[in-house]
Amino acid sequence: MKRLVVDGYGKFIRREGDQILVTEKGRVLHRILAENLRQVVVVGNGGISFDAMELLGECGVDLIKVDWKGEVVCRLSSSMMRTVQTRREQYAAYNDHRGGHISRAIILAKAKNQYAVLGTLAKSRVDTAPSVSKALMDARCAVAENLSSIEQVPEVAPSKIRGALMGIEGNCSKIYWEAISEIFPNAFGFIGRSGRYARDPINAMLNYGYALLEGEVWHGVHYAGLDPYGGFIHVDRPGKASMVLDLMEEFRQQIVDKSVISLVTHGAVKTDDFENEGGLCILNERSRRLLVETVESTFEEYVRYADLKIRWTDLIMRQAVEVAKYLRGESPRYESFYLRW
């Protein structure tokens, strides 16, 4: 199953029989059987026919639109899968220990992934930049000191532990990003994670990469029959896909952060690959294409995890299914994802 990325301007997506065609000024750029697709990601401006949308829906192919700021602005998908029991349990779990169990497991996995990434970055700089390597290892130790605090948070209703968990998570992320800021060239102006409305290239790339990850996690959450908006860690807010954002926390570091770090530290993107628009930093076509290609190719790469050799995209779906199985009582606990180092 493939993912089709439609980038640039003036592209049009249409149907021809059982195939999806991408055209530009009447010229066919891509042609693929819809049944061989798992997702279509549109990151430019163009159009799509109703027939093409219908075919994508029939084949269970997600259609995601990402805007210039790196935010998922819309998503079309086929009809829901096994939802009733899963969703009833998901809503009930918000008020009992199961929601707390999932919240704690995800935050613990995020911290452990930060710990692992810092270790990987430090190891690769032992000879070339020993002082930076030491700073990364010191940060790694500081993150490790928070792990036991997370494990001590009781498994009760999420609303009762959200403040404690987010406080520890915030502390770990501050340590993580301050250490990683040491490896980026000063010209990129990165002083820490700022979230939406990026004003520097690194945050702009992170936002865009997270939007791509959001689309992938959304696919898994939808497939598992979970309500994308019924999260446990992130608070309810109209239009906020809290369950998707919750599960994303396990994958940000290994998929997006490492992709951005690699592109910048290997010189694949330069500071002139970005534009300033109203005080906001945005990716130009070249840097956007590089980032999309890197993150999308990572989704298709294999990773060894829990005695499995599995593609990242399948691992994301597996984790969503594991959440659903735990909520339905088919598993005694939820095993969150993290890589050891």
pLDDT tens string 95-136: 999 999 999 999 999 999 999 999 999 999 999 999 999 999
CB distance 336 to 319 below 8 Å: yes
**Cβ-count burial 208-243 (b if 16+ within 10 Å, e if not):** bbbbbbbbbbbbbbbbbbbbbbbbbbbeeeeeebbb
Q: Phi first, then psi: what are they for 35, rounded to 5°?
A: -70, -15
- What is the sign, positive or negative, of the torsion defined by CA atoms of 202, 207, 213, 215? negative
Q: What is the pLDDT of residue 1?
A: 62
Taking residue 93's Cβ as centre, other Cβ atoms within 10 Å add up to 21
Q: Could you give the CA distance from residue 47 to residue 169 in angstroms, rounded to a whole number?
A: 41
Residue found under tokens 């599960």: 247
Residues 234-245: pLDDT tens digits?
988 888 899 999
Q: Could you give the CA distance from residue 301 to residue 185 in angstroms, rounded to a whole number?
A: 28
Q: What is the pLDDT of residue 80?
A: 54
Q: Could you give the CA distance from residue 179 to residue 164 in angstroms, rounded to a whole number?
A: 23
CB distance 172 to 180 below 8 Å: no
CB distance 132 to 97 below 8 Å: no
Q: Is 96 helix (H, G, I), strand (E, B) or coil?
A: coil
C-alpha Rg value of the chain to the nearest Å: 20
Q: Could you give the CA distance from residue 259 to residue 205 in angstroms, rounded to a whole number?
A: 10
The half-sphere exposure of 10 on its side-chain side, counting CA atoms within 13 A, is: 6
State the distance between the two ends of the chain, measured CA to CA, in whole angstroms. 31
Q: Phi first, then psi: what are they for 340, rounded to 5°?
A: -85, 155
What pTM was estimated for this model as a whole?
0.85
Q: What is the pLDDT of residue 64?
A: 87
Residues 69-87: pLDDT tens digits?
777 888 887 665 557 899 9
Closest residue by Cα to residue 299 from 212, 224, 238, 203: 212
Q: Is 195 helix (H, G, I), strand (E, B) or coil?
A: coil
- Per-residue confidence band for 294, with pLDDT thresholds at 50, 70 and 90: very high
Inform me whether the pLDDT recorded for 279 exceeds 60.
yes
Residues 152-202: pLDDT tens digits?
999 999 999 999 999 999 999 999 999 999 999 999 999 889 877 889 999
